[in-house]
Amino acid sequence: MYTIVTGAAGFIGANLIKALNERGLRRIIAVDNLRKADKFRNLVDCDIADYIDKQEFLERLLAGDFDGDVNAILHQGACSDTMEMDGRYMMENNYRYSLALLDWCLDQEVPFLYASSAATYGGGATFSEERQYEAPLNVYGYSKFLFDQIVRQRLAAAGGANSQVVGFRYFNVYGPRESHKERMASVAFHHYQQFRSDGKVKLFAGCDGYADGQQQRDFVYVDDVVRVNLHFLDQPQTSGIFNVGSGRAQSFNELAVANVNACRALSGEPPLALAELVRQGLIEYIPFPPALRGKYQSFTQANLAKLRQAGYEQRFAGVEDGVPQYVKWLSAGG
């Protein structure tokens, strides 16, 4: 029996495969868009059974090649570019493709765990897994939102699906194996690169009633995201859509302080408070871009009540814990 991971050479997918390997699993089919060849680097230290292009995989899946030979699909593959304006591509890639996998899994009674997104909430201030709080601001968020609605319909129909279906609404994930994402990589990644190249981190000045650098996001370390996925993989009786964030809004100032001080620690320098980092020019505020006004989430914070009710009890790392781990990994050549 195979475990299938889509988006396998991407950020979360590759971390999932590494974690599955650590559990002793090797019969893993890694699925990704092979046109982007250099992403294979994320899989070099992983053990897999095969590496298949997403289109070939879908054709083989629908032709029956994998019938009766799959124990779970972990669907992480998607276009996550919030600035992508090609609606046809976004819906085909994020919605239609996901729908085909969902229907196959329901037919085969195979657990289906998939990546949703906090982008489904848009600019709202309440982040609970309920329809009234969902209002995506871009076609990426809409593609995730629409698929979540289909999942809800499938789960509600005839008393629920015969097999597990779980959607994970990821908040701002950061951590190892994301460098290929370039401009779509996490803020933590870009802070590290800025400090290494320029000796300072640049943050947006105040907006939406927030002071300089005080806009807040729910930053979640990728190791925690992986642990949530594995928890549900071990609980095949549990289905639903769940937020996956730290449950704690932290400011960009806090993120930058953690990053700069982690870099300073690698050089044997002591940590500094925010005010001193700003005074020394190690953190700098730049004007808020006019083009982002009305399109920017100045606050996100996952409501974890539903996740906790589903039995997930582990603590999530704050940026003061996760960022230093990530900086050590990046500095070691990750």
Q: Which two tokens stand for residue 267?
A: 């050089």
Long-range contacts of 29-34 (CB under 8 A, 24+ apart): 29/2, 29/3, 29/4, 29/5, 29/57, 30/5, 31/4, 31/5, 31/6, 31/7, 31/57, 31/77, 32/6, 32/7, 32/8, 32/77, 33/77
Note if 210 is an active site residue: no
How far is it, in rounded angstroms, from Cα 69 to Cα 50?
A: 14
* CB crowding 103-137: b at 16 or more within 10 Å, else e: ebbbebebbbbbbbbbbbbbebeebebeeeebebb
The residues that bridge with 75 in the sheet, in sequence order, are 6, 114
Residue 202 backbone zone (phi > 0: left; psi -120 to 50: alpha; other: beta): beta
Q: Which of 18, 133, 181, 306 is catalytic?
A: 181
CA distances from 150 to 99, 147, 317 (A): 8, 5, 32
Note if 140 is an active site residue: yes
How far is it, in rounded angstroms, from Cα 74 to Cα 29?
A: 10
Under DSSP, is residue 280 helix (H, G, I), strand (E, B) or coil? Answer: coil
Break the chain down into helix, strand, coil percent, rounded to 5. Answer: 45, 15, 40
Rounded to 5°, the CA angle 299-300-302 comes to 155
Q: Which two tokens stand for residue 57?
A: 């995989």
How far is it, in rounded angstroms, from Cα 172 to Cα 127?
A: 13
DSSP secondary structure letter of residue 286? E
How far is it, in rounded angstroms, from Cα 34 to Cα 189?
A: 24
Known catalytic residues are 140, 181
